[in-house]
Structure 1
Amino acid sequence: MNTGIVTFATCGYAVINGLIGEQELAWARKMTDALVERYRSGEPSARAAGVSIGDASRQHPQRNPDVEPGQYSHEPFIIGDLVALEPGFARFLCQQSIWTCAARLLDCAPAEVLFHFSNITRKPGEIGPAVGWHRDADNRYFASDDGRTLRLLIPLQHMSAGNGGTAVVPGSHLHAETAIDTALSPDVPAAGCLALHSGTLHGGLPNRSRQNRDVIVIQFGVRSSHLRAHASEAMALSSREDFLKVVNA
């Protein structure tokens, strides 16, 4: 973990191996597969919390060339508000290892860490769209004025350049103007995570392999930050203690 903290501070990202256990990974896959099937079946709550491959491809055709949007209107690209859709995600999200990692990378006391939101972002084999280059600090969904937010990307399959894995520009969190010439795609094993500083420039190529690339994205912040954007998701701005109260109720 110490190596990860140093890398995160200097490069704006870190690969953390073994963040969750194999049992928790299997559980996350099972819940994710169930949500995907609910989305495909047209369940209103799942559809309302998501974006389809078809819609993403229609909005940004250059990010998913040779994919016909109309064929994938029921295939999810993003499914959000996980706890609202599947309460079992509350138990998954309150794992001590996840919160300890967030506190260390945010350089704050564990009690100061707050959950912001979570989603499943998918790049299914052969049809997964690219993700445009961006910095999470610039988003209008859930962001703080001081930029003290962190995203953990927990892949459910091994993530690499070969299956459209997230690419990062090392050190870009320290520079407002950064070219993508030095971008790289870290290999991240399933059950590990890719931690991203809110100022790190990142994106990703389409997935044209036969391997799926599904990740659980979790954003954390600190209690003292003033928020300029705040989505109303289940458990937003909750501490781990708040999660534990819900899980143990």
Structure 2
Amino acid sequence: MDSTIDEAACRWHDALLRDGYCIIPDLVGEDAVAALSADLDPVFERTPLSEGLFYGNATRRFHGLLARTPHAAAFVGHPLILAIARAVLTECDAIQLNLTQAVELMPGAPMQPPHRDEEMWPLRTPGVEYLINVMWPFVPYTAGNGATLVWPGSHRREPEPSEAPVAAKMRPGTALLFLGSTLHGGGANRSPYPRRGMIVSYSLGWLKPYELPWLAYPPAVARTFSREIAALAGYRAHRPNLGTWEGRCPSFLLGCASVQPPGACDTLRPEQEAAIRAFMDMQQGPVRQEPR
């Protein structure tokens, strides 16, 4: 890892764990955001309004952004973002992409109910972070157009009822990171214009992700990804033997057109392999010495 990225990752990692969120300014160029946003413009236009109490009927949301625009990969695989995510999400063999979601808050959209994204999973271990969200704005986020609201420190405690959240004011190119344990919600859009942006989230590799990656990115699509992006998008077995296909790491599907794989091959962690070898050695017993 580049030493500059390593130092920056440590600094932002510490801020993220201290406050439950951090805002990294000018992380990518505005031209890169504009190119990504332009590719998604027609998708926004044809996407129906969402439904349900949580999403509300004044937002548009769609997923699978890696398959919709080649510009998404630079955001999903941003080296600093991945370094921070891997430093926080340590209770796994490898992190995974939880979702990519484009969001549009229409004028008049009300404030989203405050929530913690880790509540998607019914079991949690105190002190273990399950998820990191990254919000990338396509337009300036302001308190008036529905900037994401976060409650500082809420990953460690329940905020007081009178405690006001912080509106994450950002311009395109800046990124908001917040933990799955942090209380947050979209703000109300009181402006006359839509507020568009993108959420990319990463989770522990052994959790069921929000977005099923093999449906969002079947092998024919994933073959166009870099090795790192394909692994994040589900084409990597999580040791021991989770997320396999025919007993093999699903990355097999990216390098071979054959539908018939070789025999199953287990995928174990080093300490598991060592324990199995020790067990097998014990079963063999001591070597008998023949008399001379």
TM-score by structure 1 length?
0.71
Q: Answer yes or no: is 1:35 the counterpart of 2:74.
A: no
Per the TM alignment, residue 154 of structure 1 is displaced from its structure 2 partner at its CA by 0.5
The structure whose residues are more often strand, as a share, is: 1
Q: Name the counterpart of 2:33.
A: 25
Distance in 2 of aligned mates of 1:205 and 1:216: 15
Q: Name the counterpart of 1:184.
A: 166
Distance in 1 of aligned mates of 2:72 and 2:123: 22
Q: Name the counterpart of 1:81.
A: 64
Calculate percent identity across the aligned residue pairs.
20
Q: Compare relative contact order (CA 8 Å, sep 6+) and give the higher one, 1 or 2.
A: 1
Q: Name the counterpart of 1:118.
A: 100
Distance in 1 of aligned mates of 2:210 and 2:102: 19
Gap runs ≥5 in structure 1: 40-46
Q: Name the counterpart of 1:241.
A: 227
Distance in 2 of aligned mates of 1:211 and 1:172: 30
> 1:127-206 maps to which residues of 2 (within 5 A)?
127-139=108-120, 146-175=128-157, 177-180=158-161, 181-206=163-188
Distance in 1 of aligned mates of 2:211 and 2:202: 13
For 1:216, the aligned partner's letter is M
> 1:197-216 maps to which residues of 2 (within 5 A)?
197-216=179-198
For 1:30, the aligned partner's letter is A
* Cα-Cα RMSD: 3.6
Question: What's the CA shift string for 1:125-170, capped at 9, x where partnerless?
Answer: x233321110011025x99764421000011111121211111111
Per the TM alignment, residue 206 of structure 1 is displaced from its structure 2 partner at its CA by 1.7
Per the TM alignment, residue 26 of structure 1 is displaced from its structure 2 partner at its CA by 1.3
SS of the counterpart of 2:155? helix
Per the TM alignment, residue 28 of structure 1 is displaced from its structure 2 partner at its CA by 1.3
CA contact (8 A) 1:144 1:228 kept: no
Q: Name the counterpart of 2:207.
A: 227
Distance in 2 of aligned mates of 1:18 and 1:240: 25
Distance in 2 of aligned mates of 1:97 and 1:26: 20
The structure whose residues are more often helix, as a share, is: 1
> 1:3-14 maps to which residues of 2 (within 5 A)?
3-14=11-22
How many residues in Structure 1 have an aligned counterpart in Structure 2? 215
Question: What's the CA shift string for 1:15-48, capped at 9, x where partnerless?
Answer: 0112222232111111221211232xxxxxxx6x
Distance in 2 of aligned mates of 1:173 and 1:123: 25
CA contact (8 A) 2:26 2:173 kept: yes
Distance in 1 of aligned mates of 2:164 and 2:111: 18
Structure with bigger gyration radius: 2
Question: What's the CA shift string for 1:81-122, capped at 9, x where partnerless?
Answer: 3234x152553433434423433454699x933212110121
Distance in 1 of aligned mates of 2:46 and 2:134: 25
